[in-house]
C-alpha cells in the first residue's frame, strides 16, 4: 500500500475494496498480510495513516533503521455500516445493493 499513499484513495479505489474485505473478515484479503491484523474477529473500523519515512542516523542509540513522521489520515475511519463506502463500492460493481427484506 505504500505506493497508494503517494496519491489519494480516489486514485487507488482498490484500497477501499480492501477495507471492505477487511471489515468483513475476508480470508483472501487477510492472506495478503504476514499475520492477521485482526485476530479473533473483524474490526469495527479501518483507517489508513500516512507517514513520511527517512533513514535514521547510523549507530543511533535505539538501533532504529527508520524515523517516521506522521503526515495525517490518508483514509478516515470507515465501518461496514458506512453508507458512503457502500455507495462507492456499488458504483464500481464490487458489491451489490443491500438485500431488502420484504415486510411480513
Summarised one tens digit per residue, pLDDT across range 10-57 is 899 999 999 999 999 999 999 999 999 999 899 999 999 999 999 999
Q: What percent of the chain has pLDDT over 70?
A: 97
DSSP string across 33-53: SSS-SS-SS--S-EEEEEEEE
- How many C-beta atoms lie closer than 10 Å to residue 56's C-beta? 14
The residue extents of the domains of the chain are: 4-91
User: Does the model's pTM come out above 0.85?
Assistant: no
Identify the DSSP state of 18. H
> Residue 104: what pLDDT?
72
Smallest CA-to-CA distance from 9 within 82, 89, 94, 69 is with 89
Q: How far apart are CA 20 and CA 93, in angstroms?
A: 13
Mean pLDDT along residues 87-99: 88
Amino acid at each position: 500500500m505504500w505506493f497508494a499513499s503517494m496519491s489519494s484513495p480516489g486514485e487507488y479505489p482498490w484500497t477501499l475494496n480492501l477495507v471492505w474485505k477487511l471489515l468483513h473478515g475476508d480470508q483472501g484479503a487477510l492472506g495478503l498480510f504476514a499475520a492477521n491484523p485482526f485476530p479473533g474477529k473483524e474490526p469495527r473500523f479501518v483507517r489508513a495513516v500516512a507517514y513520511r519515512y527517512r533513514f535514521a542516523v547510523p549507530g543511533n542509540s535505539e538501533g532504529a533503521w527508520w524515523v517516521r513522521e506522521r503526515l495525517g489520515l490518508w483514509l478516515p475511519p470507515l465501518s461496514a455500516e458506512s453508507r458512503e463506502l457502500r455507495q462507492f463500492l456499488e458504483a464500481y460493481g464490487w458489491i451489490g445493493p443491500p438485500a431488502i427484506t420484504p415486510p411480513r
